[in-house]
Amino acid sequence: MPTFRRRLAAVTAVLALSVTGGAVISPASADPREITKVPTATGYGGAVSTVDPEASAAAIKVLRNGGNAVDAAVAAAATLGVTEPYSAGIGGGGYFVFYDAKTGKVGTIDGRETAPATMPTNAFINPTTITAENPTGSAYPFAQLVSSGVSVGVPGTPATWERALERWGTLDLGEALEPAIKVANRGFVVDETFRQQTLDNKVRFSAFTPTRELFLPGGDAPAVGSIFHNHDLAKTYRLLAKKGTDAFYGGPLAAEIAATVQAPPKDPTWVAPAPVPPATAPVSIPAFPGFLTTSDLASYTTIDQEPTHVEYRGYDVYGMAPSSSGGTTVGEALNILEPFDLTGMSAAGALHHYLEASALAFADRAKYVGDPLFVDVPTKALTDPVFGKERSCEIDPGLAAVKPVAAGNVASYDGVCLLAPASAVVETDTENISTTNLTVADKWGNVVEYTLTIEQTGGSGIVVPGRGFLLNNELTDFSTVYEPTDPNRLEPGKRPRSSMSPTIILKEGKPFLALGSPGGSTIITTVLQTILNRVDLGMTVSEALAAPRASQRNTENISAEQEFIDAYAGDLEALGHVFTKAGDGLTSLPEIGAATAIEFGPKGEMIAAAEPLRRGGGSAMVVRPSK
Pairwise CA distance, residues 468 & 595, whole Å: 27
Average pLDDT value for the chain: 92
Helix/strand/coil for 562:
helix
Angle, CA 596 vertex, CA 187 and CA 627 arms, to 5°: 90
pLDDT at residue 378, rounded to an integer: 98
pLDDT at residue 279, rounded to an integer: 75
> Widest CA span of the chain, in angstroms?
73
Find out whether 191 and 616 touch, Cβ atoms under 8 Å. Answer: yes
pLDDT at residue 417, rounded to an integer: 85
- What is the pTM for the complete model shown? 0.93
Find out whether 407 and 364 touch, Cβ atoms under 8 Å. Answer: yes
Active site includes 435?
A: yes
Pairwise CA distance, residues 459 & 286, whole Å: 16
Which spans in 289-445 are helix H?
294-299, 326-337, 347-368, 379-382, 385-392
| 111-168: pLDDT as tens digits | 999 999 999 999 999 999 999 999 999 999 999 999 999 999 999 999 999 999 999 9
Active-site residue identified among 308, 383, 435, 503: 435
pLDDT at residue 23, rounded to an integer: 33
pLDDT at residue 428, rounded to an integer: 53
> What single-letter DSSP state applies at residue 171?
S
Q: Name which of 509, 624, 608 is nearest 100 in CA terms.
A: 509
Spatial neighbors of 411 by CB under 8 A, at least 6 apart, are none
Residues 30, 33, 39, 45, Cα dihedral to 10°: 90
> What single-letter DSSP state applies at residue 532?
I
Residue 289's H or E segment, with its range, is none
Find out whether 576 and 598 touch, Cβ atoms under 8 Å. Answer: no
| Parallel, antiparallel or unpaired: strands 436-442 and 40-50 | antiparallel
pLDDT at residue 282, rounded to an integer: 78
Pairwise CA distance, residues 326 & 531, whole Å: 14
Find out whether 403 and 359 touch, Cβ atoms under 8 Å. Answer: yes
| 328-362: pLDDT as tens digits | 999 999 999 999 999 999 999 999 999 999 999 99
Q: What percent of the chain has pLDDT over 90?
A: 87
Pairwise CA distance, residues 462 & 209, whole Å: 9
Pairwise CA distance, residues 551 & 537, whole Å: 18
pLDDT at residue 477 is higher than 90: yes
pLDDT at residue 418, rounded to an integer: 67
